[in-house]
Amino acid sequence: MRTTVVAGLMGVMMVVAAVHVAAQVAGTTTLGVPATEITTLARGWSAKKQILGKPVYNDHNERVGDVDDIIVAPDKSLSYAIIGVGGFLGLGEHYVAIPFNQFKSGDGKYVLPGATKDKLKAIPTFNYAK
């Protein structure tokens, strides 16, 4: 009986040791942002607070749509704003993807030079991949 108990304890200790070793290997990746980067991060843009839902104007100060979403390309090389154009209370809205580098910002507004509602509606509809 004593041999069985000792063997059982040895088995448990080996499992605990194996888990501890695996945890050390898996723990080599740092999660989150180091405290030294928090200040830099706080000075960045918040998509939720500063971009999403904001109106988009053309260079004649006419409202042409609203920023509905942000898409980052898989290779992270370019980001797009999904603009909702037309519709009423979200019904019948036409969504288009516009590269961020086509926008100008100033006076707290997003400006898409040369845009009109008709021109944006003529762009192919953006559909999310399923």
Write the pLDDT tens digit of every residue in 10-62: 343 444 444 444 444 555 666 787 878 887 777 776 677 778 889 999 999 99
Its pTM stands at 0.64
Q: Is the pLDDT of residue 65 over 90?
A: yes
Beta strands in 58-100 (DSSP E): 63-72, 79-85, 94-99
> What's the rounded Cα separation, in Å, for the pair 82 and 99?
9
CB of 57 within 8 A of CB of 112?
A: yes
pLDDT of residue 95: 92
Give pLDDT tens digits for 75-103.
887 789 999 998 766 567 889 999 989 99
